Amino acid sequence: MTLIHGFIQEGLFYDDVNFPRGFRKSGDFNISESELLTNVGRRLTSLESGKSEPQNETEQAFVDMCQQQTKGETQVELLWQKYKKFTTYRPFHSLNGSTKIATAELVMEEEEEEVEVDDVEIDSSIMVDDE
Q: Which amino acid is at 9?
A: Q
Query: Mean of the pLDDT values across residues 83-111?
Result: 67
SS3 content of the chain, % helix, strand, coil (to 5): 50, 5, 45
Query: Mean of the pLDDT values across residues 106-125?
Result: 59
pLDDT tens-digit series, residues 33-91: 889 888 888 999 899 898 989 899 998 999 999 888 889 888 989 998 988 888 887 67
- With a threshold of 0.85, does the pTM exceed it? no
